[in-house]
Structure 1
């Protein structure tokens, strides 16, 4: 099953750090994660040097998983130019286009 996550909860850092990232690193998540989209303060996870973001980026490089930050959220927080290398920013049309060939089964909002 191919899934994508949309992170809007203020608990995204905990959920990623303690649950999802370890599962992905250990190959036991149970679904293929094809993308993750980050809103509001969750975009800080994608800033260079953030330990959780760096771990996610390493997983993404190996798996081809898309990581994307909301463009307006990144601009508002003045971090658009500080994201981990290779992580784009965009809006829903960009997300749809980036995931269009992923044969997505579910989108999960956390």
Structure 2
């Protein structure tokens, strides 16, 4: 079974990702193949360069081919992307200051990025 996670609620990345999902993935005990993760609002902060959770996740994502995407508008608002609001949703915003492999985008970019390896389930946390 393939899943994609959407981190949309308060503390989803610092609690659910950092203390449950990430350790299970690292130990090979998660029970599902994760194909993508999308981060909204303050959940982006765990992906900043040097953040221990983000660095662990980036390493794992590279090994397992997991898409890591941040909401382009959320990233622009937090100075974690290059671009402006008019470019949001068009694939023109570039992530900055985040761990290796993270891309910025909106739903059109998320759908396109997952099209080649679509999840069976999308789980919003």
Q: How does the TM-score come out when normalised to structure 2?
A: 0.85
Name the SS of the counterpart of 1:68 in structure 2.
strand
What does 1:1-110 correspond to in 2, within 5 Å?
A: 1-12=1-12, 13-80=14-81, 81-110=96-125
Q: How does the TM-score come out when normalised to structure 1?
A: 0.96
Gaps of 5+ in 2: 82-95
| More RCO (CA 8 Å, sep 6+) | 1
1:17 deviation in Å? 1.2
Q: After the TM superposition, which segments of 4 or more aligned residues of structure 1 sit over 6 Å from their partners?
A: none
1:11 deviation in Å? 2.2
Residue-pair matches, total: 110
CA offsets, 1:46-99, max 9 Å, x none?
110111111111110100000100000000000122111221000000000000
Query: Aligned-pair RMSD on alpha carbons?
Result: 0.8
Gaps of 5+ in 1: none
Mapped partners of 2:30, 2:112: distance in 1:
25
